[in-house]
Structure 1
Amino acid sequence: MSTLRPTDLAREHGISTQAVRNYERHGFIPPAERTASGYRIYTEVHAAALRAYLSLVPAYGYAAAGQIMNAVHRDQRDEALTIIDRGHAQLLRDRDTLEAVRTAVNHLTAESAATPDPAPGRATTRTVGELARQLDVTPATLRNWESAGILRPARDPASGYRVFDTDDIRDAELAHLLRRGGHLLDHIATVVQQIRTAGGTDALAASLDTWQRRLTAQGLAMLHAATRLSAYLTRLDSENGGLHPCP
């Protein structure tokens, strides 16, 4: 078996030799043998392991990539596959959430275009009871959404009652649509926060294509990672039973 130096592994990926040593120490690649003078000796098995690990990172994230490689090196392949399955399940949930947000934003945008601007002097705020009647939910539901971080109504300084402004009403309408679609409150809170960060439904609608491209890129990264990991496992199995499990 041909031998490789740390610089050989590092050069292929444009990383430092210290990074290679760190990956070895954390169990992302198998332990290297040492020369009599203490220098590390890597092989094509280590090179395949490093390719697999670095391909897993954009697909599943640093933490999951490390967990997958450690599971492989403990000869716990079912555990590694379970982590991979969770990643695919999360990507599917993200795709479903994106589609729900796209539908909800389109719905709200269409409603906004069809609704005339309020007459001058007409109130654009709602009390908790008024907003609950508008959405056909209970005031307790709106309070639960507030507790979950979905709504952030102001308080009337005189009465202390909740006051929902235009942005709060928009967030409540979006939450109502997503809740009817079966989405959990913590997921809805994340979506609403994205709308607030984007500056409204118009800005969010413009960012949905970017979100879609990111999910597509992650899906393609998963395909690439599967190829790299499969190649590594095949090489392990061909090397006298492999180098796993590692201590």
Structure 2
Amino acid sequence: MKIERPIIALDFPDRLSVQQFLTKFPADEQLFLKVGMELFYSEGQDIVRELIAGGHDVFLDLKCHDIPHTVEQAMKVIGQLGVKLTTIHASGGSQMMQAAKAGLLAGSNGDQTAGILAITQLTSTNQTMLEEEQLVHQPLKNSVLHYAQLAQAAGLAGVVCSAWEAADIAAATNADFLRITPGIRLAGDQTNDQKRVMTPDRAAEQKSSGLVVGRSITQAVDPFAAYQTVTKLWRQD
């Protein structure tokens, strides 16, 4: 399964910034937009509803991580919003992941359109951080694969991972298990605070299911042109 449109990370502080950004796209362009913590904590549920009402799909990236009951209740609320994707941390464990799925289904009255993605390891994490700060003395790839397999066993739709691990996850999980990859950059763009980055065409080769692209589009001189470039490279057409 492959999501044909790049998912644009709306890393903006408020609604006005988002509205100004979206004016740079054709009015009838149906986008897949990621609402993360910064924007959601600023504007709340209203921004999600507004984007969906505008004909866009929404990936609500709040990375829930708590005891199973708390995450289940949070997912009930998210399930009512009509988003396409949302996230939790795989490190919360199997019970929490199962509770998240139950909550999302309850909130959406059994509608299985929305999917939960488990965060494996952030693209800002490298092997040194894994060993010295998380005290995990395993190769980073092993940690990511383990979390992906736990997420699949818990019935989640897929994982958020680096494109560098996407092919290995594809080999270790079912064909329909999503591998959504942030840290996507056009050639020559700065990597900023992300350490494991990749270009769209290379991510396609590495079996990513979908791309999350932020600054390469949002900070481009012509965001729509950048979006079209990313899309062409991703689809390899």
The structure where strand makes up a greater share of residues is 2
Determine if the TM-score, normalized by the shorter chain, exceeds 0.5: no
Q: Give the TM-score, by structure 1 length.
A: 0.22
TM-score normalized by the length of structure 2 = 0.22
Q: Which has the higher contact order (CA 8 A, sep 6+)?
A: 1
Higher radius of gyration, 1 or 2: 1
> Which structure has the highest helix share of the two?
1
